[in-house]
Structure 1
């Protein structure tokens, strides 16, 4: 039976490894076994899931995933932490064959490096790279069917926000391109070492088909970036640089069935895809 790490074990392990948590890497280690069990349960893993864990750190969540019977790819950028993870798992009763450790940057890892292919992402992500990591992995790993990530509460709110809200923006739309996202609860600072000065939030997601198959993702994301670069402007004005002029932007918006006087925060991902598709059509239409 796999034993989970508590506060004393976390500090002792960090001491043996000479690890001092750094803000640069966003290192806040979970030391509460009940929180780990809660995260694993909320991840709703199937028996055939292969889990990708990013930033396993000292191994708290890794042990929880292994205890649940998961096959785990652990991607850790810190070579000291990566080097100790397999031994920590073995010392706490985890199956040696169920864990593969990769000393790598999650922003650069490729599908070819992960065999068997991961189907679920479960991770405690540093706030400063949480959004790019999630989006990069969904783009790079089409086998990811679902996931649960723990991020700073402010980031969680942005990821799950829908059109019309104050925090709805680029992360909200881009995640919606890949998946349906939901809140899976709040996590207090007290379960981490060192204790952060903010709450964390759990974000669950389930992959779905993009809203349109006839327009490249990169084209849609360029529209999204332009629309939110100047949030207070109407889409006619905000998309002028992207479209080659305000009049051209208005033409594309009307063709997409979008009011040129609307603002980006009012649109769902499907509308952004419609705008990108309309731009492609009107740019190739005969004069």
Structure 2
């Protein structure tokens, strides 16, 4: 397709100067596909240009970044990301949406259409991606798989040095929670293994179609080296500690260690009070505990 001028682009899609998708365009594209958004796939499509601009701005993208976007849907965020970066690698599980996305981008932003690569796949099952390695994850993640997708991609792709994800507000709170609070749990610790996590703002429900019954939140992560230790072993301790979060670590880790006495011995070897609960430990504490030698019983 020949590259059109900015004037042509503006006259073709006057509702948004950058070619972004407004509510009417979102519904029109869905109607073309005969698409009814499903809760199973977490399909809630962004349609607010100001929110898209805000996400792109908050992501702090560089011109040479390769952005990984999971669940691009009808292309709202994709159209905002493409002008800000070198390449966008969009992973979409719905074949209909994956097929439509390049055409939507070519229609609305032909000047940057060559920066887009679409992969039809389940982000939870991906083991490799085509082209240059992604350096940033920016995505409106499906609510029902947000945490496992984030953790899988951070482990799979060590080149990802930043992430900005839009998730359910409650999930955002859990991911960014510090030790000691009621929201602190398995997602908080596992995300902290990969980097510094913080809340990056709130997003209301009216900027989506269909409108979800909960608010959303932005979560930013900047990668840093993980604490000393083994990730798999550390995550096993985390899972055990929070499986019975109301109990002391001595009780909660009894099965993991072999017995309450063995759990207490390993906790003391790691310099951790056995009377504490899991929500009081940092990811570094969990890694140190996982590295202690098992106690023979």
Task: Quote the residue 2:269 is aligned against.
Answer: 255
Tell me, in whole angstroms, the C-alpha distance in 1 between the residues paired with 2:140 and 2:32.
22
- CA deviation after TM superposition for structure 1 residue 211, in Å: 1.2
CA shift for structure 1 position 67: 2.5
Cα offsets for 1:34-74 (capped at 9, x unmatched): 11000000000112210000000000000000122341000
Residue by residue, what CA displacement relative to the aligned partner does 1:103-162 show, whole Å, maximum 9, x if unpaired? 000001123x23210000000011110000000000100110001000000000000001
Question: TM (normalized to structure 1)?
Answer: 0.95
Sort the Cα spacing of 1:36 and 1:165 in 2 relative to 1 into closer, same or farther, 3 A. same
What are structure 1's unaligned runs of at least 5 residues? none
CA distance in 1, matches of 2:63, 2:109: 20
3-state SS of 2:80 partner: helix
Residues 196-251 of structure 1 show CA distances to partners (whole Å, capped at 9, x for unaligned) of 11100000000010111xx2100000000000000111000100000000000000
The correspondence for 2:169, drawn from 142, 153, 156, is: 153
1:31 to 47, 61, 85: 47
Partner-residue secondary structure (3-state), 2:131: coil
Rounded to whole Å, the distance in 1 between the matches of 2:25 and 2:91 is 22
Aligned to 2:121: 104
Alignment of 1:98-137 (within 5 A): 98-111=115-128, 113-137=129-153
1:103-252 to structure 2, matched below 5 A, reads: 103-111=120-128, 113-212=129-228, 215-252=229-266
Cα distance in 1 for residues equivalent to 2:23 and 2:51: 12
| TM-score, structure 2 as length reference | 0.92
DSSP 3-state at the match of 2:200: strand
Q: After the TM superposition, which segments of 4 or more aligned residues of structure 1 sit over 2 Å from their partners?
A: none
Residues in 1 aligned to 2:109 and 2:244: alpha-carbon distance in whole angstroms: 53
Separation in structure 2 between the aligned mates of residue 211 and residue 4 of structure 1, nearest angstrom: 41
Task: Note if 1:83 corresponds to 2:99.
Answer: yes
Q: State the aligned residue count.
A: 280
How many angstroms does 1:28 deviate by?
Answer: 0.4
Structure 1: distance between partners of 2:275 and 2:293? 17
On the 8 A contact 2:193/2:226 being kept in 1, the answer is yes
- Note the aligned Cα RMSD (angstroms): 1.3
Query: What is the distance in 2 between the residues matched to 1:84 and 1:115?
Result: 21
The whole-number CA distance in structure 2 between the counterparts of 1:242 and 1:67 is 50
Partner in structure 1 of residue 286 of structure 2:
272
Structure 2's unaligned 5+ residue stretches are: 1-5, 7-17
Secondary structure at the aligned position of 1:45 is classed as coil
